[in-house]
A and B are shown apart, each in its own frame.
Chain A
C-alpha cells in the first residue's frame, strides 16, 4: 500500500535550469513532509521539509510547495547544479510518530 507516490522516475535537466520533482500522497493525516537526497552507495541525506500547516518552505536553492487539497507536494531546485545529480525521495510522517513513509524516488541528472 504505497501511501507516498513519486511518478516520472527520472529527470534530466540542464545545469542552471530548474528541476521540479513531484510527490503525491494518499493519507490526509500526514503532518510533515520531507525530501531526502541519496547518492549511490550512501545513505539518504535530509534536504528540506514542510509542515502541513504551511504551503511553502524555502532553503537556499531548494523550495518545497505543499498543496494539501490536492495531496501533492513538489520540490524545486534552482539553479540546478551537477552536484544535484542524485536520487530524491519524498517522505511523509504523522505528528508524534517517528515512522517515515517513503516514495520510490526520482533520479535527477543535471547535465553540465
Chain B
C-alpha cells in the first residue's frame, strides 16, 4: 500500500523555464493538498484540490503557479517562468475525505526544486 508518491524528488530548472511537480495520492484518497517550504521556514499552504476541482487556492501566488488534479492521473503543480525565489521543497499530502477530525493527513517525501 504505497504512500503519497511525489516525483521527481529533485528538480533543477534554469530561470525562465517551467517546472512540473507530480503527486499521486494514497490509494483511495481523493483529496490532495500542496504545501511549500522555503529555506528556514515552516510549511505554507498553497492549494487544496479534489478530483477535477480546486477547492481552496488561497495560498497560491497570483501569477505563474497553477495546480490541477484530473480525473485520471496524478495531481500536477505547475510553475511557469521559474525564478530563484521559487527554490523550495514542495510537499503534497492526501486524505480520503475532507478532514473534519483532528487527524493529520499523509505527506509525500517532497520535490526539492532548485532554480539556477
Contact yes or no, A43 B4, CB < 8 A = yes
Which of A34, A44, A96 is in CB contact (< 8 Å) with B102?
A: A34
Q: In chain A between 60 and 112, which residues have their CB closer than 8 angstroms to a CB of chain B?
A: 89, 91, 93, 95-105
In the complex, A41 has a CB within 8 A of chain B: yes
Which of B31, B55, B102 is in CB contact (< 8 Å) with A51?
A: B102
Total count of chain B residues near the partner, CB < 8 A: 32
Most buried by A among B42, B104, B109: B42
Minimum CB distance partner of B55 in chain A:
A98
Across the interface, which residues of B come within 8 angstroms of A50, CB to CB? 102
Which of A36, A91, A99, A104 is in CB contact (< 8 Å) with B41?
A: A104
Which of B59, B100, B102 is in CB contact (< 8 Å) with A99?
A: B59
Q: How large is the interface on A (under 10, 10 to 19, 20 to 34, 35 or more residues)?
A: 20 to 34
In the complex, A4 has a CB within 8 A of chain B: yes
Contact yes or no, B104 A36, CB < 8 A = yes
**Within the complex, what minimum Cβ distance (angstroms) separates B48 from chain A?**
5
How many residue pairs, one in A and one in B, have C-beta atoms under 8 Å apart? 72
Which of B31, B41, B43 is in CB contact (< 8 Å) with A100?
A: B43
Minimum CB distance partner of B101 in chain A:
A32
**Could you say which of B12-20, B61-69, B73-81, B91-99 contacts chain A?**
B91-99
Contact yes or no, B31 A104, CB < 8 A = no
Across the interface, which residues of A come within 8 angstroms of B95, CB to CB? 98
Contact yes or no, B103 A49, CB < 8 A = yes
Q: In chain A between 1 and 39, which residues have their CB closer than 8 angstroms to a CB of chain B?
A: 4, 6, 31-34, 36
Instruction: Report B's interface with A, CB cutoff 8 A.
Output: 4, 6, 31, 33, 35, 40-45, 48, 55-56, 58-59, 91, 93, 95, 98-110
Interchain Cβ contacts under 8 Å between A and B, 14 examples: A33-B102, A34-B104, A41-B110, A42-B109, A45-B107, A98-B55, A98-B98, A98-B99, A99-B59, A100-B35, A100-B43, A100-B45, A102-B35, A103-B42
Given A43-B110, A44-B91, A49-B104: 17 more A-B contacts, CB < 8 Å: A36-B107, A41-B110, A42-B109, A44-B107, A45-B107, A46-B104, A89-B43, A95-B100, A98-B95, A99-B45, A99-B56, A99-B58, A100-B43, A100-B45, A102-B44, A104-B41, A105-B42
